[in-house]
Structure 1
Amino acid sequence: MLKLMGALISLFLIIIIFLRIPQENVGLASFATKSNILGSPSSATRFLNILTGIGILAYFTIAIQINLLN
């Protein structure tokens, strides 16, 4: 169960990192501004920062638990 959750959090973090591609990259940045998926740029940045931090903490917690069980 922990390995499955660890894999899901890993995929989640990869997706978040792709959403955080720098603004000069025209492809994803233009998509995000045209579709307005994440709202305004400042609130989207803050939201992604919080989400990334929570995901990293959850990943480390699960990784430590998996290592202690082995």
Structure 2
Amino acid sequence: MLKIIWIILSLVLIGLIFLRTPQNQGLASFSTKSNLLGSPSSAEQFLNNLTIVLMILYFSFAIYLNLVS
């Protein structure tokens, strides 16, 4: 069960990292004009915090699964 959660978590992290808009490049001007998630800075801060939390969970699962097996 934990391996399934770990695999899903890794896929979500990969998707989240690839879907982020680049800083000061092509889509950055579009992201500053969109108000779907509130202000761009608060949405970016939320995505940064979410990425950090998911990375900590991912590495915790990886360490635990490595110690158990």
| Structure 1 position 14, deviation (Å) | 1.4
Q: Identify, as 1 or 2, the structure richer in helix.
A: 1
| Structure 1 position 63, deviation (Å) | 0.3
Change in Cα spacing, 1:41 to 1:31, as seen in structure 2 (3 Å) is closer
Kindly report which structure 2 residues correspond to 1:27-42, keeping only aligned pairs within 5 A, or say none. Answer: 30=30, 34=34, 36=36, 38-42=37-41
Matched-pair identity in %:
46
Question: TM-score if structure 1 supplies the norm length?
Answer: 0.77
Tell me what 1:9 maps to.
9
Structure 1 distance, partners of 2:60, 2:53, is 11
Unaligned runs of 5+ in 2: none
Unaligned runs of 5+ in 1: none
Change in Cα spacing, 1:17 to 1:32, as seen in structure 2 (3 Å) is farther
Question: TM-score if structure 2 supplies the norm length?
Answer: 0.78
Runs of 4+ in structure 1 displaced over 4 angstroms? 31-35
Cα RMSD of the aligned pairs, angstroms, is 2.3
Kindly report which structure 2 residues correspond to 1:33-52, keeping only aligned pairs within 5 A, or say none. Answer: 34=34, 36=36, 38-52=37-51
Q: How many residues align?
A: 68
**Greater CA drift, 13-22 or 2-11:** 13-22
